[in-house]
Amino acid sequence: MNNKISSYEIWFITGSQTLYGDETLKKVAQNAAQIVGYLNEKVLPVQVILKPTAKSTEEIFGLCREANYDENCIGIITWMHTFSPAKMWISGLKNLQVSMLHLHTQFNQDIPFEKIDMDFMNLNQSAHGDREFAHILTRMKIHRKIVVGHYQSESVTSKIQDWMRLCVGKDAIQNLKVARFGDNMRYVSVTEGDKVAAEMQFGFSVNTYGVGDLVAYINSVSEQSTQDLVHLYEKSYSLAKDLQANGQKRNSLIEAARIEIGMRSFLNAYECNAYTNTFEDLHGLSQLPGIASQRLMADGYGFGAEGDWKTSALLYVMKKMAFGLSGGNSFMEDYTYHFEAGGEMVLGSHMLEICPSIANENIQCEVHPLGIGGKADPVRLVFNAKEGPAINVSLVDLGHRFRLIIHKVAGLKVEKQFPLLPTARALWKPLPNMEIGLEAWLLSGGAHHTVYSQNLSAEMMEGFGEMLGLETIVIDENTDIQSLKQTLKINEMYHR
């Protein structure tokens, strides 16, 4: 897959004006360079590029236009070290298309009480310079992330990092192609949606490919590459007895490897980084892809079962945003509940396709019959998910708009045995508790399919929703049903 995270750039634009004279402007540029240097040392994963100080309407317009058209620039950080009269920003901002972080910082951390004089005041004006700038942003209704504090503080740098990941996500969602093998699962509502509206709002495209065309790729996979992948399976997972060499189901493993290779080459050929399939349309495929989808997800592909293109796109994007973080992101489905008083939890799983990036321990490779679909027994990876804080995220189409629903959960350690359950699984406790958390999800219209993330926070996903202009609902430790109902009503008006 094309992974261009290293070529991404965030531009740092310092606003000023010519009024101050060359001496002050030289200082402005030097101080900005020092801040950029610090951020590049501390802040990953995207490089910050210092741009010349913006001092006039024309310079600001030029910088904004360049930011739009530069292939690598995915966002700008703005800071008014001095006072930059904001009418100079109007034409640039009117045309700006990339996301903005307004860094309300100051070069010095402390007021130098003993030394402070009018020269110092002349240079260090962000306390009021940034207000002038923020006013025009508010008046022009320009979305931006505001980060307040000294640039060397941990809280500031970590907020900048999180925001950079959102910019990566926005770039990913704009450039994504989702392949659908087969249509939506018959009669299912929530996995449907307006693909044209999605492309207009998010940028990703969703198109259908014939299962038979995929099968042609699978059939042309060579014996050698199939054998090589089977060996990789043997090295990477503990294989069930019947899948080992001379085992009764060895052929299923060989067939699964062939499917995986064929799917990879098909997706590469059509430059699709996410896909859906459905057990109702597998014509010519011997088994529903299990291990193939699991391993493709682990490599960063988006996947949605039963034609769920929205979850597939979201999974790809969240995996891109989580680049380099420990923990994983997986397609997920709320499967069944444990209602024992005091020990309530949700068992999350799918019939096959859970991503091993969320796994806790050694991964078993097994083959079992699948009750639906009427195909041969599919090979799958079976494991328990890691414990720890997590979120479930769902993107739904409400008919006239999309809604992003984010639910904070506590991922639990899987201590029980599931001797008869042939799927990967996760256990979690919804916040604030089972009763309110689930009621809130149902009220919000969240899907049964989600992206389960161990490494992106609810705050980040809320920021991502805002960045995309999406209605965003967060269910967390503070959720109460009365105010959620109010929020949903007010949102109904706001998004009309």
User: What span, in angstroms and rounded, lies between the C-alpha atoms of 263 and 260?
Assistant: 5
Query: How many beta carbons lie within 10 A of that of residue 423, not counting itself?
Result: 20
Query: How many beta carbons lie within 10 A of that of residue 435, not counting itself?
Result: 12
Options 40-48, 248-256, 279-287, 297-305: segment touching Mn ion (CB under 5 A): 297-305
Radius of gyration over every alpha carbon of the chain, rounded to an integer in angstroms? 25
Residue 305 as a binder of Mn ion (CB under 5 A): the answer is yes
Query: How many beta carbons lie within 10 A of that of residue 328, not counting itself?
Result: 22
- State the minimum distance, in angstroms, from the CB of residue 170 to Mn ion: 27
For 442, list phi and psi in degrees, rounded to 5: -65, -40
Q: Which two tokens stand for residue 66?
A: 């360049």
User: 147 by DSSP, 3-state: which?
Assistant: strand
Residue 333 as a binder of Mn ion (CB under 5 A): the answer is yes
**Of 333 and 397, which has the nearer Cβ to Mn ion?**
333
**Of 124 and 287, which has the nearer Cβ to Mn ion?**
287
Number of residues this chain uses to bind Mn ion (CB under 5 A): 2
Neighbouring-strand partners of residue 347: 336, 427
**Of 372 and 420, which has the nearer Cβ to Mn ion?**
372
Options 231-239, 328-336, 360-368, 426-434: segment touching Mn ion (CB under 5 A): 328-336
Options 40-48, 96-104, 330-338, 453-461: segment touching Mn ion (CB under 5 A): 330-338
**Of 133 and 301, which has the nearer Cβ to Mn ion?**
301
* Bond before 45 cis per omega within 30 degrees: yes
Strands 402-411 and 388-397: antiparallel
**Of 39 and 447, which has the nearer Cβ to Mn ion?**
447
- State the minimum distance, in angstroms, from the CB of residue 435 to Mn ion: 24
| 8 A C-beta contact, residue 360 and residue 386 | yes
- State the minimum distance, in angstroms, from the CB of residue 191 to Mn ion: 8
- State the minimum distance, in angstroms, from the CB of residue 315 to Mn ion: 13
User: What span, in angstroms and rounded, lies between the C-alpha atoms of 399 and 409?
Assistant: 28
**Of 348 and 411, which has the nearer Cβ to Mn ion?**
348
Options 144-152, 176-184, 253-261, 332-340: segment touching Mn ion (CB under 5 A): 332-340
Reported as type and span, the H/E element at residue 224 is helix 223-236
Options 167-175, 204-212, 248-256, 301-309: segment touching Mn ion (CB under 5 A): 301-309
| Binding interface with Mn ion (CB under 5 A) | 305, 333
